[in-house]
């Protein structure tokens, strides 16, 4: 303690020395600036000391994240792997199938679509996992989300995470923005289901994720550096574990594998390399998620004090580690073992009631067997242009997609068929020929039902999208009102009136009626619509509902460049109409007269323009 207080004591002794040097009878004002500087330096020292005590280093944050995972419940960990394992298994299968299968070109559309769905599935469950970790840190403060709100939040998560892979690749190439880009997408996962963003979560989620990506950036950079080392060490442990396990299997059980017969070929295999990376990802990814949940939580606690409240609540409630009971796992194991236990006498009865083998059934069995994945390496790889040359790219794509769907449905049907066979042909029931055929019919029927349901769902989705597009184009597109029939009386107060709804003479008649009734404001609007209808009939303006007065002014300036008097009169009418209709301009008889005079000038200038065009046409025809 004395060693830590030594700088403070030295600074205090310096301050006392300065005061002692002030002689009696002299003004000590000269010593005051130096004393103030000493006090400021002491204050800065205390601030730096508190800052070092409060801020967390990268290693400390990783330790806290690891402790958070250790204290998390089994349901929280299960949530993470419920979303991650299906994607990892599908990605590994996709990698192996697309690199070795003879039908990779045919199966790639369906496989790519499945991987996209799996990626969104994983990101959604990652957000749920982060929400549960946040609830562990701050219990009782979670955001309650209803059914539709969960869909909105999940849609926002999908929109953000769909750009993660390309942006991270570009950031890795540029190298400098990589920590901030990576933190942004991790923050989006951590905040996806933890904050109340209302009915429009996308914009707020992007804003908070971007803002928190700059929070304590040295800590973020240190975390990424350390986690890279952790990921590399984890991957090496996975590789060495596989090597040692295969060697132990050979030593104790005599099991030979490619790792024992030709280790170099196994290690240089891209499928093995990619598989070990995926296993390391399953180990490291939960720790990364918990790290960025802690970063967002501590950044939010600077304003809310949630970390202090969480500690107080934890001590008050005596929250401890939840007990993990293996009852469910034991029950599942017992159920599977009972189901898989071979019944007595089944092997004896199967040999007496087998159906007769025919040539057709033998050919079908051989054909089905040779189309399995394990035998596809015997076939040559289908090239992209191996189809008919006269087919277009679009036709080939549709054909490949349809074949992929058909193959997938066949696999589902056969899987259901096998399940039904295993379900009904057990125990004392021997697999007779009729039973086999009936079970096969059940599987094919269920597969057909799934196919029909898939077609119906796709048709409904396509029809719904087409309906939305047609409705949107009908609502937002330009409306041609030239042929619209007038039904009822025109309401001049309405904002949906278009000048092409009535003829010029009808607008003038309506204007005279309003002038006679003393409604000058409505009369000016009727006169303005009459002038628009006049110019529209003459071809100088094209009347559309979406156009504004400024649009009409610009269009007239372009089409009537040789008629400056007409442009001036129209500009004055537009200005007067906007002051009267949208402003608080007082209306008098002179305003109506001035507007009518400009309208007559427009009509006169248009007549002169038409006469000039007729003379030019006559002169050109005479020549």
Cα dihedral across residues 216, 218, 224, 229: positive or negative: negative
Q: Where are the alpha helices (DSSP H) in 477-588?
A: 504-516, 520-537, 549-559, 564-581
What one-character DSSP code corresponds to residue 22? Answer: S
Helix (H), strand (E), coil (C) string for 211-230: HHCCCCHHHHHHHHHHHHHH
Tokens standing for residue 280: 């390391």
- 277 pLDDT above the threshold of 90: yes
Q: What's the pLDDT band for 331 if we cut at 50, 70, 90?
A: low
pLDDT digits (tens, 9 = 90+) for 26-80: 444 444 555 566 666 666 655 554 444 445 788 889 998 899 998 888 889 999 9
Q: Are 606 and 549 in contact (CB under 8 A)?
A: no
pLDDT at position 123 is 92
- SS3 of 198, please? coil
- Report percent pLDDT > 70 for the chain: 65
Angle CA 213–293–212, to nearest 5: 20
Q: Domain ranges in the chain?
A: 2-54, 58-302, 396-477, 499-622
| Range with the poorest average pLDDT among 174-188, 236-250, 303-317, 398-412 | 303-317
121 contact partners, CB below 8 Å, separation of at least 6? 83, 86, 87
Which range, 127-136, 245-254, 470-479, 549-558, has the best average confidence (pLDDT)?
Answer: 127-136
Measured between alpha carbons, how far is 22 from 16 in angstroms, rounded to an integer?
10
State the Cα torsion 427-429-430-432 to the nearest 10°.
Answer: -150
More confident residue, 93 or 424: 93
- Report percent pLDDT > 90 for the chain: 12
- 283 pLDDT above the threshold of 90: yes
| Range with the poorest average pLDDT among 73-77, 270-274, 559-563 | 559-563
User: How does the average pLDDT of the chain come out, rounded?
Assistant: 74
The overall pTM is greater than 0.75 = no
Q: What is the mean pLDDT of residues 409-432?
A: 63
- 284 pLDDT above the threshold of 90: yes
Q: Are 307 and 301 in contact (CB under 8 A)?
A: yes
Q: Are 123 and 398 in contact (CB under 8 A)?
A: no
Tokens standing for residue 465: 């999208």
Q: What is the mean pLDDT of residues 384-408?
A: 65
pLDDT at position 235 is 93
pLDDT digits (tens, 9 = 90+) for 489-547: 677 777 778 888 888 888 888 888 888 888 888 888 888 888 888 888 888 888 887 78
Task: Specify the DSSP element, H or E, that contains 56.
Answer: none
pLDDT at position 307 is 63
CATH topology of domain 499-622: 1.20.120
How many CA atoms are closer than 13 Å to the CA of 328, on its beta-carbon side? 4
More confident residue, 420 or 180: 180
Measured between alpha carbons, how far is 305 from 540 in angstroms, rounded to an integer?
67
């Amino acid at each position: 303690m004395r060693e830590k207080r030594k700088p403070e004591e030295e600074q205090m002794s310096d301050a006392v020395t300065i005061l002692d040097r002030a002689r009696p009878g002299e003004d000590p004002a000269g010593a005051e600036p130096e004393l103030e500087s000493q006090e400021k330096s002491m204050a800065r020292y205390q601030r730096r000391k508190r800052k070092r005590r409060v801020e967390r280093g990268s290693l400390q944050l990783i330790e806290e994240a690891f402790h958070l995972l250790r204290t998390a419940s089994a349901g929280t960990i299960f949530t993470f792997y419920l979303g991650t394992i299906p994607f990892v298994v599908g990605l590994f299968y996709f990698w192996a199938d697309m690199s070795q299968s003879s039908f990779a070109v045919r199966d790639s559309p369906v496989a790519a679509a499945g991987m996209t769905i799996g990626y969104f599935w994983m990101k959604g469950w990652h957000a749920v996992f982060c929400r549960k970790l946040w609830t562990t840190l701050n219990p009782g403060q979670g955001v309650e989300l209803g059914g539709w709100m969960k869909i909105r939040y999940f849609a926002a998560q999908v929109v953000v995470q769909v750009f993660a892979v390309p942006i991270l690749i570009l950031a890795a190439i540029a190298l400098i923005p990589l920590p901030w880009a990576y933190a942004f997408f991790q923050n989006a996962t951590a905040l996806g289901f933890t904050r109340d963003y209302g009915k429009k979560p996308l914009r707020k989620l992007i804003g908070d994720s971007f803002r928190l990506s700059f929070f304590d950036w040295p800590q973020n950079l240190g975390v990424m550096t350390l986690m890279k080392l952790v990921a590399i060490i984890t991957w090496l442990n996975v590789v060495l574990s596989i090597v040692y396990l295969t060697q132990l299997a050979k030593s104790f059980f005599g099991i030979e594998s490619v790792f024992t017969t030709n280790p170099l070929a196994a290690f240089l295999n891209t499928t093995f390399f990619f598989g070990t990376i995926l296993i390391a990802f399953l180990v490291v990814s939960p720790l990364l998620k918990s790290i960025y949940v802690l970063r967002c939580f501590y950044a939010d606690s600077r304003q809310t004090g949630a970390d202090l409240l969480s500690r107080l609540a934890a001590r008050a409630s005596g929250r401890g580690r939840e007990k993990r009971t293996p009852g469910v796992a034991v029950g599942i194991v017992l159920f599977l073992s009972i189901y898989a236990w071979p019944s007595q006498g089944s092997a004896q009865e199967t040999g007496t009631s087998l159906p007769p083998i025919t040539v057709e059934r033998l050919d079908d069995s051989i054909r089905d067997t040779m189309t399995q994945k394990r035998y596809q390496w015997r076939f040559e790889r289908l090239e992209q242009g191996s189809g008919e040359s006269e087919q277009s790219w679009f036709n080939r794509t549709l054909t490949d997609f349809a074949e992929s769907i058909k193959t997938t449905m066949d696999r589902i049907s056969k899987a259901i068929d096998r399940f039904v066979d295993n379900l009904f042909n057990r125990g004392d029931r021997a697999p007779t020929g009729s039973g086999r055929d009936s079970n096969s019919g059940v599987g094919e029927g269920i597969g057909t039902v799934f196919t029909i349901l898939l077609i119906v769902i796709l048709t409904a989705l396509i029809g719904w999208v087409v309906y939305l597009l047609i409705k949107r184009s009908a609502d937002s597109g330009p409306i041609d009102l030239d042929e619209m029939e007038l039904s009822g009386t025109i309401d001049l107060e309405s904002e949906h009136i278009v000048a092409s709804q009535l003829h010029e003479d009808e607008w003038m008649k309506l204007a005279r009626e309003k002038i006679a009734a003393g409604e000058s404001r409505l009369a000016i609007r009727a006169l303005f619509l009459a002038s628009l209808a006049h110019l529209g009939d003459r071809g100088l303006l094209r009347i559309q509902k979406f156009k504004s007065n400024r649009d009409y002014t610009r269009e007239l300036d372009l089409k009537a460049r040789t008629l400056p008097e007409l442009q001036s009169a129209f500009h004055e009418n537009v200005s007067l109409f906007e002051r009267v209709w949208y402003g608080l301009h007082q209306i008098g008889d002179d305003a109506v007269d001035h507007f009518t005079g400009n309208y007559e000038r427009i009509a006169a200038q248009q007549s002169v323009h038409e006469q000039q065009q007729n003379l030019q046409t006559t002169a050109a025809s005479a020549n």
